[in-house]
Structure 1
Amino acid sequence: MSRQIRAALKLFELRLSRASSHLELLGDPALLLAERAVHQQARLRGRAPLRADATYASGPWLLSTPPEGWLVGRFDLPGLHRPLQLLRDRVIDAWVGSYQPDLPDADDPEWWVLDLLREPVQLLAAPDHPLAQVRDLRVGDFEPFPSLALPSGWFPRTEAVLREQGLWSDPVRIQRYDPSCWEGRCADGVTLSYGQSLTEALQPTTVRLDWDLGLITGEALVVRRDLMDEPAIQQLVEHLQQQARLVAGRFGDVELML
């Protein structure tokens, strides 16, 4: 731990915990949160770059070249809890998620969610998977094969849909998104995975199976509702909508949501 971090912890009377996959602060965070609110207001007024992040699927397509005045993260935050907590604590100012139907509802009092793109989720496998060339698959055909699953409760609605089909059976321990922990798991020739046109274009190592999951995903901007009318946020909205138009024009099954 650096001297600067130790000094900050002492100032705010906090401690760091390494008990989980992310460092967590212990103690009363009120003073720290107040400072973060001040820093966010400074960023919104152009005194420092604003901060955006996205999923591994959204980021490369929609934020590879962010608008002026914005910095972006590494597009590797997994799940929903961590990015939403960073938004809630005003550490980041905007996030583009890919997790329909598990993103907050449109009328959520805390979050403003703006849909950008929508596309079907595909069941994927290695090209040499035993089911790769089989047509008219049935649910029972999946039982002999492991299928990737993220930690229970991360995406409850998505998890429920896939479990009903005999999928979501092989848990993956993941702290940051890494292709080898997700798409790369199909390289064993038996593990089933999930994806969509945007992820397939980034990791073209799988094939689609002849099965309709009945599951829709999509890219959406998520910000705190109390920030939705800020000019800097609306500038980001315009940029994302322009990028979304380009992406939708590239893929036949990606629908523009404007």
Structure 2
Amino acid sequence: MSDRQRHQAILRILEEKPFASVHDLTAAVGVSAATVRRDIEKLDGAGLAQKVHGGIAALEGAARRPVALPFIVNRDIAVEAKRAIARTAGRIVRDGSLIIIHAGSTCFHFGAHIANRNLRVFTNSMPLAAYLSEHGTCQLTVGGGDLHREPGVLYDPQRAPDSFYGSQFFVGALGVSSRGLLESHPLLVRFINDMVGLANEVVVLVDSRKFAERPPTVALPLGRVSRLITDDGLTDTDARMLEDQGVDYIIADRAEAAA
């Protein structure tokens, strides 16, 4: 199989699913892992797909109904935007407060950013809890329940909501539209609704790509959002939508976070 044929085969695979690992591709195209990694580099360099940790991801597109990528993959996509959002979100957190941080990659970057602040953090996110336990100095409380490896949360829908109360609930989403925050995983929809009732303020952390995504389920109407933080890739159309819905939003500067 020629280089061109392999590249076409890889792109066809990405039409069917948003992510393919190096192992998946070696089995599919019948070449070594080293050859697959070179193919990934070339496709990424040509702007036809995106190199991510452990494999390759399809480019984001408005017409595609998104499927949630594995956390370890999604964590390394749009990192500059997510770090900019994390940095901006950190400015609205008061020292000494209790905050709730949802699962997901943007919330993970935010949690890592405030890891050494004088805060009490409550989270059901296993990746974030593991990071904070090793690298953070903030007080940490981890929610209980069964471990759901994807999306990486500890949660038991049969349990009553926890008996704590936070000043802010930081939450991400797979998509955002005038309907609200959009998700594809029913467990996350239930979890978000449980957590909303335990905080004074709901702060949404989403990079600007999420405004083009259309998952099937509304997890939270925009009317229940106190504030939304996104990056400077937000389009004028999406900004007007937020304004029409009465959402207070903040734009994070990616260049500032990269400096």
TM beyond 0.5: no
More helix by share: 2
TM-score under structure 2 normalisation?
Answer: 0.38
Structure whose CA Rg is larger: 1
